[in-house]
Structure 1
Amino acid sequence: MTHAVVSARRDAPVKELVRSMRRWGVSAVPVLSAEGRGVGVVSEADVLGRIPQEGGDGGDWVTADSLMSAPAVTAPRGATIPEVARLMGRGRLKRLPVVDEDGRPLGVVSRGDLLKVYLRSDAELAEDVRHELLTHLIPRGNAALTVRVTDGTVTLGGRLPQSVSADLALQLARTVPGVVDAAAEFTP
């Protein structure tokens, strides 16, 4: 998530919006109420859709309030990567403001931010998968667990306690951010 949030007031004219987007290298800005809560988002597409007709007055009359997509689709603080990805996918969004409990922006998550998780090393992923399995599913000492990761694909092996199914172990492994897929090679 990018923590610096470039935002706009509801009454900000279109030229101010475009200047802010260009200056800060962003393709959209959240629009905030007087109380600092997100009420909408103005994207480049929103601005381009409202270009004044030739011979018009330059569009200074167009404000963030008239351009914004509302209500603002946001992610709550603490949302997981899969939750944010689902929100963005459902809304076909390129970016998503992250807000606190009062609806005030804390940052912005972009598609690129979500993809960074796939750059984690295989060693990091193996360590996280092992930790998740041993913390949430398998009591220490009750399994001879092996975790191998190759290009983000996890292979679980060894022995599981009788109370733990291979399907459940695989399901938990797939929840680790950056894991592409998981397979099992458990011995009975």
Structure 2
Amino acid sequence: MEHLRTVDDVMTHAAVSVDRETAFKDIVEALRMWGVSALPVLSEDGRVVGVVSEADLLLKEPGTGTAGVTTAGRLMTRPAVTVTKDAPLRAAARLMARGHLKRLPVVDCDGRLTGVVSRGDLLKVYLRPDADIGAEIREMIMCQLMPGGSGEVYVHVANGVVYLHGSLPEPALQDAVTRAAGTVPGVVDVKADFTVPAAA
């Protein structure tokens, strides 16, 4: 739980998928069996070419063919919205939010499926212990932002909310320290109250 930063850290590696020729009823059965709302559709070489969802199945118009011969290739939404396994968690969250998606296929550099990441997977980062979050913020501040040791910053974390207080050697550091703390995985909010030198 200490270093949840990229999609690879939280995704499900055993991804369920279908190919273009998978029939309507088989898609429905796979969705039910695996308890998911959408499945990646793969080409013959394992590349993600689309996604077929419950919504795609429900939008099939009566009279356009029987369910037995309607295939994933005809029903799928394309191109698929995908993410790479080295993408930051925030980037995956933004993609999901923009597309109103519940899950994303995870692909390698060639577009081949390597896993799936869901909204629930992205939320795992918020289960990170407060002590781990605090330790990372302290290390970041002392090693990267204030390596000389000037100033004194106290860090307290409760339920993912970071409380910062103390003294900083210059006003510009206040925003830098606050922003840096907010980038640490698992942080819900940052509240800062620093003493800084008055502007000349």
Distance 1:45 1:135 in 2: 50
1:164, CA displacement in angstroms?
5.2
Paired residues, number: 186
Distance 2:91 2:127 in 1: 19
Instruction: Tell me the SS of whatever aligns to 1:141.
Output: coil
- Alignment CA distance shift 1:102-1:140 (3 Å): farther
Distance 2:61 2:22 in 1: 16
- State whether residues 77 and 101 of structure 1, in contact with CA within 8 Å, keep that contact through their aligned partners in structure 2: no
Paired AA for residue 80 in structure 2: A
2:12 maps to: 2
- Alignment CA distance shift 1:68-1:124 (3 Å): same
- State whether residues 119 and 178 of structure 1, in contact with CA within 8 Å, keep that contact through their aligned partners in structure 2: yes
1:21 maps to: 31
- Alignment CA distance shift 1:86-1:57 (3 Å): closer
2:8 maps to: none
What is the percentage of aligned positions where both structures have the same residue?
52
1:58, CA displacement in angstroms?
4.3
Paired AA for residue 30 in structure 1: P
Paired AA for residue 31 in structure 2: M
1:163, CA displacement in angstroms?
8.2
1:50 maps to: 60
Instruction: Tell me the SS of whatever aligns to 1:165.
Output: helix
Instruction: Tell me the SS of whatever aligns to 2:149.
Output: coil
Paired AA for residue 10 in structure 1: R
Distance 2:148 2:18 in 1: 52
1:174 maps to: 182
Higher RCO structure (Cα 8 Å, ≥6 apart): 2
Structure 2: tracts of 5 or more residues without a match: 1-10
1:143, CA displacement in angstroms?
4.0
Distance 1:61 1:93 in 2: 27
- Alignment CA distance shift 1:5-1:86 (3 Å): same
Distance 1:98 1:123 in 2: 31
- Alignment CA distance shift 1:173-1:124 (3 Å): same
Instruction: Tell me the SS of whatever aligns to 1:16.
Output: helix
Distance 2:156 2:31 in 1: 44
Which of residues 127, 130, 147 is equivalent to 2:138?
Answer: 130
Query: Bigger CA drift: 108-117 or 80-89?
Result: 108-117
1:140, CA displacement in angstroms?
5.6
1:40, CA displacement in angstroms?
0.6
Which of residues 9, 23, 43 is equivalent to 1:33?
Answer: 43
2:70 maps to: 62
Which of residues 81, 86, 89 is equivalent to 1:78?
Answer: 86
Distance 2:144 2:77 in 1: 41
TM-score normalised by L of structure 2: 0.84
Instruction: Tell me the SS of whatever aligns to 1:147.
Output: strand
Instruction: Tell me the SS of whatever aligns to 2:186.
Output: coil
TM-score normalised by L of structure 1: 0.89
- State whether residues 50 and 77 of structure 2, in contact with CA within 8 Å, keep that contact through their aligned partners in structure 1: yes
- Provide the alpha-carbon RMSD of the alignment: 2.0
Which of residues 118, 123, 137 is equivalent to 1:115?
Answer: 123
Distance 1:18 1:135 in 2: 53
